[in-house]
Structure 1
Amino acid sequence: MKKVVKFGGSSLADAQQFKKVGAIIREDPSRVYVIPSAPGKRFSGDDKVTDLLYRMHSKASKDEDFGVELEIIRERYQEIIDGLGLEGFSLEGEFAQIERRMHQNPDSNYAASRGEYLNGRIMARYLGYKFIDAKDVIFFDEHGVLDSEKTNEVLSKCLEENPKAVIPGFYGRGFDGQVKTFSRGGSDITGSIVARACRADVYENWTDVSGFMVADPRIINNPVGIETITYRELRELSYMGASVLHEDAIFPVRHEGIPINIKNTNKPDDDGTWIVESTCQKSGYVITGIAGKKGFCTVLISKALMNSEVGFGRKVLQAFEENGISFEHMPSGIDTMTIVVHEDEFMHKEQRVVSAIHRLAQPDSVEIESDLALIAVVGRGMKSMRGTAGRIFSALAHAQVNVRMIDQGSSELNIIIGVDNNDFEVAVRAIYDIFVKTRI
């Protein structure tokens, strides 16, 4: 048995949390590769180290004094070192290098990556594991995209030579040889990459919650947890706002059929959530999860006999492509076509897009409506259960929520509902109540 374990920022925020992590790793000898994040918040109102690093870089890039931020960061790490009793261990040389770099050539990727790098140094010393700099084993191509094959080849060889190691999350080496980071939360991706490279049996992702919840706990008080979820279900929920795991973290492990187990550092005995390719295990409910986002708008294009005009949809989408706007959903009728886009992407380019639609597709009319929230109801169990959509719409009607849009693919894995931004929370509660609370 071989496990890769990734620990989030809240799990490594201070020395006390480090000790919990150390106990978890030492309790199971199969936890051989460790991916740390940067220290997160210790309490409400505290700063994440990554945010402090970005703030430091911002000041350095404007040739302003960043000494205050650097000293706060230095103190955070020193408190962890002292709390762990790591005598004779120092990061002063690393901090001197960071300070020089910020004076000479401030780079945001380099600055942001130091949080994970420094935590990795501490973790390796604390555990007695080998430290492997992610910059030496994770590579991006000339387009800034992960070079999966080169990374897997180099990393696999490195891990074969090092049976126990700490690899910092969040960053690698860019095509120009400099440090390059993933998007925020990218340590999840690093863990997945390492799990693939060593052909792990399990990728454990440790955080401050016991897995995925059926709905957002900020909207639903104490929602039930999800025991097992498929990669496809997870992608749908993550894309629509569920935030326990980075949405791109599933691809490397899915390639190798490696399951992910989301676990709670503060409650290590909880089962958490298992993420798998497929499962014959039935969910306790018809749905697996509910997730959503606010801030969308719809562009309604109308044209008589649209359905008989070959290439009409392509012409409309070309107008969005020309302006660099991606679309979310595209429900349509015989003579109408609706494009759903992010409002903040669209609002500054509205007139250009509308002009392009008229030029390319020559519609009868183009109407724009804003303040739309999208809710995804996701579940592998919906396909075999009659009346799921009816129950959703009955619940929303009972809650006096007007449904502005409906989109359901033929896979029946998810149903997308559009409601007013102001109705978003009410709608999520209504759907949760009908499927989970009352189970009508």
Structure 2
Amino acid sequence: MRRWAEATIVLALAAMAGCRTQEIRYGPVPIHNPPRPAPAPEPPPVPAPRDEPAPPPASRAPALKVGLIVDTPAGTVTSPSGMTVETEGGGNIDELAAGQGLAFSADADGGIAMTVLGANGDPAGRTRHGLESPVVVRAADGGVVEVRGAPYRGAILVQNSGRRGLTFVNRLDIESYLLGVVPKELGDVGEGVFEAIKAQAVAARTYAVKNMGRRTSLGFDVYPGTQDQVYGGVNAERELVSRAVRETAGEVLTYGGEPINAYYHSTCAGRTAAIDEVWNVSPVPYLVSVVDVDPRTGEAWDRASGKFQWTERWSGTQLVSILNRTLADSLRGRRIRDVYDMDVLSRTQSGRVRAMRIDTDAGSFIVGRDRVRWILAPARGGILNSAKFDVRVERSGGQVVSAVAEGGGWGHGIGMCQFGAMGRARAGQDYRTILDAYYPGARLSRMY
């Protein structure tokens, strides 16, 4: 998800690339906040034969920019081996010895101020003002650069943002980026699911390529959190995962010659969701509902997940408080004091909530699709694990005193089920077979 190394690579990728019932309509609110996918250019094909990837060429992988810290007043950059400081065009600004650091802040006139720090973190020289954005900082020996103490491969770009803010961007090649993404997205896993790790590497790489340039106006490509993919830099790297990234280097999933929207999630509870079940978008041929069950046993591939089945409870007081917050836009100044009932009205093909009615003294509200997870938020915070659940209310003396949701799955349910992929890997399926299962019709292609 970062910078491209050369302009020619950029061009190549671009070529690929009172009680009344009220219905509340929401747009997609995905885990990774993806853009609205374009309608498929053709009807779903018979799954294409797998490509045999050719050896990768000697050219570097494309580069990506990650917005590590966005719109902050100041920040520090260090490196164990010393640093070089340059303009974007390669002009020298400064060279620092090992043990020295840099403190950056925004000038009032829109420039960037930089102060060299000594080994103790105190200023070791006068502050230079008026540096043009971006300032590029690299480790002197090509090693890691640290932002607020966390190490990253590649370079750090310090650039202006907002009126008096700075954004710290990590620019590195996509393969290095994946080393810090796949362990964070898949968790601490072992050799027995190595093929699932490889499948995750391909999906994460494809997501990065597909979303290159989405946030150009912010000065980077992707966030390091769940808005895109979770990225932990060098501290997240694990050798087993790094090997899976290396063994799939350059491989992406394509459809109609372009990288796909390779969405993925933790747990599907035996069946994934079609994208148009979850978000208000057109169907996509490779993001359809997949029955994710071992045909030999009839058991779900993701049954080992701790979120395969779950229960969420609310007291009546908690429910009222949550709904007053999550339905605030629809309440228009009114307040809910009592919840009378909650009922699932319809379900999607994969068993997720399509529409649910919430009856209150302030009116009745229809909510559904994945947005129901934000409306029926857990009392502890966050969002509901999935939209695949049943709900009931419990009464005392006719008054609702609690509500219970019993469900399964974790995440939006679209694309690859990560726990399902691990179950398939343990059963002997390779990463190509796993990807075929979750993205039917997509082709595994070598991009670089």
Q: TM-score range by the shorter chain?
A: under 0.3
Of Structure 1 and Structure 2, which has the larger fraction of its residues in strand?
2
| TM value normalised by structure 2 | 0.27
| TM value normalised by structure 1 | 0.27
Q: Name the structure, 1 or 2, with higher relative contact order (CA <8 Å, separation 6+).
A: 2
